[in-house]
């Protein structure tokens, strides 16, 4: 039996059912067997791929978007550049290569990486050492300077809880043992204060998702941007409001059962952009758009044509396939959204 399945069963026997967020934390971040601590979870030989792993243009456009804002509002000022969940460091490497020609931008940048996986930290170090990054595990340690933040497919990996609406309160979905196997069941109905606001727009039987860690992170980012300027860019798949079960597992062969082989598949759930926006609005302004729209506005077509000039055959084909996948409404273009956070009473960032 795989180690993590065994461990989950032992925990249930000892302490009772596991909440979904506890199971996700174990499966993704266990120091030895967690999915993100295995050798190569992301990219071409990993089980899933992300936008920056498909094309260098993704990171480049983000870099140029940040540089544009920096030049406009904070020219020559030192600033903090923070990436949450930098994966293999590809996005940041492309971002800072693209901005290397912009006068004083890279020399003014202090790079911070927020990452829990030891094996991915090692890869980030190889890729980004040249920029002397600092790894942080808390956002309140950031310096008081304009803050530029990127998080791509980070929030979807944070542990999520699921609740089914009962008559007047919520039944949490948990993982228990059934005939010796891991299986889902619902707890008894009980009040859950953070979801009081969803009692009015849900009906008995509806399922919604709730991510505990998101609010705190968004608040820290928004507060930093309010106090020191800068901008945030959060790109992920999700909707304005959580509605329905979006918890999924992607393994070597594509979609797989969420409870089978923990540690062997990537577990994610859609991001609830509405709850992020309501936290952020206490400090900053926000704007939400679709990934396809953002990339098109930032000039993905022109940059792709330029890069394509030096490509032939299969390379050219996979180049255009990647671009299409990122922007087409029926691929990632619409499902993936981009949220920007920026100081109140300033212009909306480029691309939105």
In the chain, at which residue ranges do the beta strands (DSSP E only) sit?
A: 18-19, 79-84, 109-114, 134-136, 147-152, 161-165, 170-178, 181-186, 207-210, 230-239, 248-251, 254-256, 266-268, 271-272, 285-290, 336-342
Cα–chain center distance at 158: 8
Size of the site for ligand SAH (CB under 6 A): 20
User: Which residue is listed with tokens 């945030």?
Assistant: 232
Q: Which residue is nearest to ligand SAH (CB)?
A: 85
**Residues 11-40 close enough to bind ligand SAH by CB under 6 A:** 28, 36
Tell me the closest approach of the beta carbon of residue 313 to ligand SAH, in angstroms.
26
Q: How far apart are CA 61 and CA 110, in angstroms?
A: 19
CB of 92 to ligand SAH, least distance (A): 9
* C-beta of 48 vs 186, nearer to ligand SAH: 48
Taking the complex as a whole, how short is the minimal distance between the CB of residue 90 and ligand SAH, in angstroms?
6
| Contact set for ligand SAH, span 76-105 (CB under 6 A) | 85-87, 91
Instruction: Give every CB contact of residue 9 below 8 A, 6+ residues apart in sequence.
Output: 177, 182
DSSP 130-151: GG--EEES-GGGS-SS-EEEEE
Q: Does 117 contact ligand SAH by CB under 6 A?
A: yes
Collapsing DSSP states into helix, strand and coil, what is residue 90? helix
Q: Is 52 helix (H, G, I), strand (E, B) or coil?
A: helix
Residue 255 Cβ, how far from ligand SAH at the closest point, in Å?
17
Write out the binding residues for ligand SAH, residues 227-256 only, by CB under 6 A.
Answer: none
Applying CB under 6 A, which of residues 20, 26, 157, 221 lies at the interface with ligand SAH?
Answer: 157
CB 22 within 8 A of CB 45: no
The correct pick among 4, 8, 26, 42 for binding ligand SAH (CB under 6 A) is: 42
Closer residue to ligand SAH in complex, CB, 36/342: 36
Stretch of residues binding ligand SAH (CB under 6 A), selected from 8-16, 152-160, 274-282, 343-351: 152-160
In the range 45-64, which residues lie near ligand SAH by CB under 6 A?
A: 50, 52-53
> Which positions lie near ligand SAH, rule CB under 6 A?
28, 36, 42, 50, 52-53, 85-87, 91, 114-117, 120, 152-154, 157-158
């Amino acid at each position: 039996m795989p180690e993590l399945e065994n461990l989950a069963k032992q925990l249930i026997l000892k302490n009772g059912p596991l909440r979904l967020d506890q199971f996700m934390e174990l499966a993704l971040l266990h120091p030895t067997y967690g999915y993100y601590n295995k050798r190569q979870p992301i990219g071409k030989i990993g089980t899933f791929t992300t936008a920056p792993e498909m094309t260098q243009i993704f990171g480049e456009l983000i870099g140029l978007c940040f540089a544009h804002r920096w030049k406009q509002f904070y020219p020559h000022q030192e600033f903090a550049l923070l990436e949450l969940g930098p994966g293999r460091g590809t996005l940041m490497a492309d971002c800072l290569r693209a901005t290397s020609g912009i006068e004083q931008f890279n020399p003014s940048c202090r790079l911070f990486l927020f990452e829990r996986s030891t094996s991915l930290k090692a890869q980030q170090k190889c890729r980004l050492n040249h920029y002397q990054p600092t790894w942080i595990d808390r956002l309140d340690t950031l310096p008081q300077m304009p803050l530029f933040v990127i998080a791509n497919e980070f929030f979807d990996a944070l542990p999520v809880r699921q609740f089914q609406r009962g008559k007047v309160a919520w039944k949490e979905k948990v993982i228990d043992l059934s005939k010796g196997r891991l299986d889902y069941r619902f707890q008894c109905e009980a009040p859950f204060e953070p979801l009081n606001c969803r009692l009015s727009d849900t009906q008995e039987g509806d399922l919604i998702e709730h991510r505990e860690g998101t609010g705190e992170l968004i608040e820290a980012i928004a507060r930093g941007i309010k106090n020191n300027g800068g901008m945030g860019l959060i790109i992920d798949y999700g909707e304005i409001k959580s509605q329905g079960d979006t918890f999924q597992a992607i393994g070597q062969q594509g979609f797989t059962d969420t409870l089978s082989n923990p540690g062997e598949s990537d577990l994610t759930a859609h991001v609830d952009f509405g709850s992020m926006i309501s936290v952020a609005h206490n400090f900053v302004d926000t704007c939400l758009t679709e990934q396809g729209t953002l990339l098109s506005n930032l000039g993905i077509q022109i940059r792709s044509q330029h890069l394509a000039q030096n490509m032939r055959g299969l390379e050219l084909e996979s180049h255009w396939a990647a671009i299409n996948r990122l922007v087409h409404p029926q691929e990632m273009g619409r499902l993936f959204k981009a949220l920007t956070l920026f100081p109140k009473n300033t212009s909306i960032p480029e691309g939105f």
